[in-house]
Amino acid sequence: MKEIVSIMDVDIDKITLREANEKVKDFLKKEKPSIIYTPNTEIIMAADKDPFLKDILNDGDLTIADGIGLVYAARIKNKDLPERVTGYDLSLNILEIANKFGYSIFLLGGKEGIGEIAKEKIKQKYPNVKIVGVQNGYFKGTHIGFKDHKEEKKVISDINKSKADILFVGLGAPKQEFWIHENKTKLNNKVIIGNGGTIDHLAGIVKRAPQIYQNLGIEWLYRLIKEPNRIKRQKVLPLFVLKVLFSKNIIR
């Protein structure tokens, strides 16, 4: 039985990055797709307002705490989440696993041309990984309100034809969660992970915050300095802190 901490009724796996790697290895042995979601604090707040998004996150096979705020919040309420496990770090480990065992990956998401750059960079660093397909995230699909559109059907058919073991879905949150949820039963991958800007990071067009910001738990501040219009999304963060401090049973 998996151990979870429930934050605003979203079940987050009580798991370290190392344990998450082992889960991924188990998932890769199964036939049916296993779904990995990577919510941060902003997404938990969004799910608090959107029961459908909450149900989607709770339907995942592995849901990791990609936000230091979630780890601190759990700690304040004496519910230990062992560490922050980012979608990006887990994705790098998935690349390592794929490199070691020769698994194939399809990259879905990012702007036109970015997936191809990421593919080249992956080839250099992880030579045994087979990138069997690349598709930008700007087609008409569920993530932008075009469920079952012919462009979406073509993307699904391309992914299935590629026979990729692993699918990276980097459409940003919560678009990627809606897209995965709608299409997971049509896909034949073994692992599907919604991993935000990972493809951009792999391509080297977006830099991760320096280690010092990561260690201090203020990666959000670095991202805000780099992209000031993220303030629209980040303004929910103080509200999250207040909710955690002053509401009962918000974390179980």
Q: Which residues bind ligand UDP (CB under 6 A)?
A: 109-111, 137-138, 143-144, 170-173, 175, 196-197, 199-200
Rounded Cα gap, residues 57 and 174, in angstroms: 10
**DSSP designation for 13:** E
Minimum distance from residue 100 beta carbon to ligand UDP (Å): 27
Name the residue nearer to ligand UDP (CB basis): 24 or 118: 118
Name the residue nearer to ligand UDP (CB basis): 40 or 189: 40
Minimum distance from residue 137 beta carbon to ligand UDP (Å): 2
Dihedral of alpha carbons 205, 138, 56, 189, sign = negative
Name the residue nearer to ligand UDP (CB basis): 28 or 181: 181
Contacts within 8 Å (CB) and 24+ apart, 115-119: 115/199, 115/203, 117/203, 117/204, 117/205, 118/199, 118/200, 118/202, 118/203
Q: Name the residue among 132, 41, 214 with its Cα closest to residue 222.
A: 214
Rounded Cα gap, residues 36 and 56, in angstroms: 11
**DSSP designation for 251:** B
Minimum distance from residue 123 beta carbon to ligand UDP (Å): 20
Minimum distance from residue 201 beta carbon to ligand UDP (Å): 9
Minimum distance from residue 83 beta carbon to ligand UDP (Å): 20
CA angle 178, 182, 185 (to 5 degrees): 140
Name the residue nearer to ligand UDP (CB basis): 82 or 217: 217
Strand 166-170 and strand 191-194: pairing? Answer: parallel
**Nearest-CB residue to ligand UDP?**
137
Minimum distance from residue 165 beta carbon to ligand UDP (Å): 21
Rounded Cα gap, residues 142 and 121, in angstroms: 29
Name the residue nearer to ligand UDP (CB basis): 229 or 249: 229
Report the Cα–Cα distance between both ends of the chain, in Å, rounded.
17
Name the residue nearer to ligand UDP (CB basis): 28 or 179: 179
